[in-house]
Amino acid sequence: MQTLTDIKWPIARYRFDFVATKSIHLPAYAGSALRGTFGHSLRSIACMTRQKDCKACPLYQDCAYTNIFEAPAPKSHKLQKFSQIPNAYVFEPPSWGKQHYEPGEILSFHMVLVGHAIARLALIIYALSKAFERDVAHGTAKLLEVRVETPNGEDLIYSDQDPVIADHDPRLTLSLLPPKKEVRLQFHTPLRLQNNGKILSSEELSAATILMALVRRISLIAEFHCSLNLDADFGLLRTKAETTNLAQQMRWQIFTRFSSRQKTLLNYNGLVGECILYDLDPVFLPFLQLGTWLHLGKGATFGLGKYVIA
């Protein structure tokens, strides 16, 4: 397997700062709302055929909208047939519970971009700017600044005063961590891992489930969005994962999100809290580092499954 710490990963985290111009009332968890607002704006800008069904469109595989927002699965693959693949972005919304922004208040959130999505940064900035000017959670806002995360903080790369994206290095190099037999993961947004369509409870969670879900997600993102073949030996990694022990203090977090497709509020739940991985093989440390950028589990695109390594 390719050494993950030797790769300069095309992954970057951007911070968007907006100033509210009309009162905004976000749901308690804003990730889905931000993603939906962005998607509507991006489609209105990028769609050339105006077909209702993207998958029936002759430009489906090449469209900027689908390639950014809902990445098309490959027509064929040497290992398996994919109905969907991970997207090349992750929204990281404001802190849980911050809902109301009055005119003049600053609304900030982060967005992680991967691979080819970074090359579309100008289009993404434009789509978000137009989305918030038009409507976000029944309000409006103006884009002030965009910053990129660096090892030393955050650098300004775009502002309403200087609307040209500054040159920056959108690559991530993992630090080489010393072997650790114990790693603590603190999940800040709900983790939704599933088996046969059912979201796993804390009692059903295992170290192997967490680690192998992370390996699969990162391997797919590397292949489809970074043109990297990690050549992971999944059988060997599963054997190593199954020797890892788990202690956890996870609890259900229930929240709702509005489905624009179903035009209704949906109840969601997932696990937040702390997991401790014991007897961890060092091979998983780079995957765990990447997971702090790419999140884990169902709904990662709109910010679920966010964790930090304590």
Alpha helix positions (H), 57-197? 64-69, 116-119, 121-134
State both tokens at 197: 């369509």
- pLDDT at site 99: 86
Measured CA angle at 128 (ends 157, 88), to 5 deg: 80
- pLDDT at site 287: 96
State both tokens at 82: 């994919």
Q: What SS3 class is residue 291? A: helix
Beta-sheet strands, E only, within 260-301: 264-278
| pTM, entire model | 0.94
If you compute the radius of gyration of the chain from its CA atoms, what whole number of angstroms results? 19
Higher pLDDT, 262 or 218: 218
Residue 48 has pLDDT above 70, yes or no: yes
* Domains of the chain by start residue, with CATH: 11-172 (no CATH), 175-309 (3.30.70.1900)
- pLDDT at site 262: 64
Residue 258 has pLDDT above 70, yes or no: no
Residue 79 has pLDDT above 70, yes or no: no
Interatomic CA distance for residues 62 and 164, integer angstroms = 26
pLDDT in tens, 97-150: 678 999 999 999 999 999 999 999 999 999 999 999 999 999 999 999 999 999
Contact between 118 and 8 (Cβ < 8 Å): no
Mean per-residue pLDDT of the chain: 92
Percent of the chain with pLDDT over 70: 95
pLDDT in tens, 160-208: 999 999 999 999 999 877 877 899 999 999 999 998 889 999 999 999 9
